[in-house]
Amino acid sequence: MAMTDSLDNALLALLAEHRLPGLSFAVIGGGQITCARSYGFADPARQVPVTADTLFQAASISKCLTALAALRLVDPGRLTLDEDVNERLRSWKIPASEFIQSERVTLRRLLSHQAGINVHGFAGYATGQPLPTLIQVLNGTLPANNSAIRVNAIPGTQPRYSGGGYTVLQQLLTDVTGQPFGDLMQEIVLQPLGLTASAFAQPLPVSLEKLAATGHDKNGQPIPGGAHSYPEMAAAGLWTTPSDLAKFALGIQDALAGQPGAILTPALAREMLTVQAGVYGLGPSITGHGLARKWFHSGRNAGFDALLLTEVETGQGVAIMTNANVNSQVLNEILQAIGAMTG
């Protein structure tokens, strides 16, 4: 009880110090969720508290789940890691350019941010703004608010973070399966892992709006009109809870350990968590060595910040979600406070 009280006090103090409206987290260890707690308000204006069921935008952590979906299609041979993705793209093709004369954009390079593709991230679309189709996003045509997604460096020559690359991947997965992206993610990732509180849905369906936290900017002000929508779902479109992110991490760790019925083969799980270039694995980033090796991803959408971090060898990890844009130092303070109290 004293440890819980101390953790509560530490996190409530951080919320007050940094003017964070709400915070939710889940800790994993020993193959299970060991602690899940929530603080503050999902909607301060209406005094709606954050609960374990409150939905947050996972932002770029979405890429890790998208990577898992792609690797699940590699296992039965519907995709291959090192084939030119233009061979499987149907509705849209990566335009020919001087940069892909000798090297090709492959699934491995898309997943590990070394496909030479531009567009770091996406701003989303405020309530009431028209939403572009995925093809319009890829081509950078109105009403899309991003530049055209193009190869502007030779693939395989340098790691460079690219939400644009994951948008190409979204089109690839849709073309290969013939399924809408959200439905595909539900079928091959969310449902098998028991992520019952999660949805790749942009905008969020009306039926789930009552569970959604209200996002806030770095000054603690609500995002005008509510949460932005991100048709670039592979890169940024997941709504979820920390406990569901923890279940995702447990699923990856089970695959790594070769548990019966795991979501991936051990070989593909190892590939996912192996540095391909820079710090990038196939989806997550990797840091440290030996027993200190961790896989992680952070996320930021308008009004939401999140972090997922797991130790490769021990399986210990944490998922943290907030309904405000905070700097990395604040997230680190939250992480340290949770680690100090939960081990």
Opening angle at CA 265, ends 262 and 266, nearest 5: 100
Query: CB-side exposure of 223: number of CA atoms within 13 Å?
Result: 22
- The mean of the pLDDT values for the chain is 96
* Residue 135 pLDDT: 98
Between 1-10, 127-136, 182-191, the lowest mean confidence (pLDDT) is in: 1-10
pLDDT at 268 over 90: yes
Convert the pLDDT of each residue in 160-173 to its tens digit: 999 999 999 999 99
* Residue 77 pLDDT: 94
The candidate with the shortest Cα–Cα distance to 58, out of 332, 329, 297, 327, is 297
Extended beta strands in 44-163, E state: 48-49, 56-57
Radius of gyration of the chain measured on its C-alpha atoms: 19
Cis peptide before 284 (omega within 30 of 0): no
Split into its structural domains, the chain has a count of: 1
Domain that holds residue 199: 2-342
**Pairwise CA distance, residues 296 & 328, whole Å:** 14
Convert the pLDDT of each residue in 210-224 to its tens digit: 999 999 999 999 999
Extended beta strands in 227-284, E state: 238-240
- The token pair that represents 60 in the structure block: 């770029």
- The token pair that represents 197 in the structure block: 């509180």
Convert the pLDDT of each residue in 113-132 to its tens digit: 999 999 999 999 999 999 99
Q: Give residue 277's pLDDT band: very low, low, confident or very high (50, 70, 90).
A: very high
Contact between residue 79 and residue 60 where contact means Cβ atoms under 8 Å apart = no
pLDDT at 343 over 70: no
- Phi first, then psi, for residue 73 (nearest 5°) are -85, -20
**Pairwise CA distance, residues 76 & 329, whole Å:** 42
Element of type H or E holding 42? strand 32-43
* Residue 291 pLDDT: 84
pLDDT at 5 over 90: no
Residue position matching structure tokens 């973070």:
161
Total count of residues recorded for the chain: 343
Instruction: Please list the residues that pair with 56 across neighbouring strands.
Output: 240
Q: What is the CATH number of the domain that holds 133?
A: 3.40.710.10
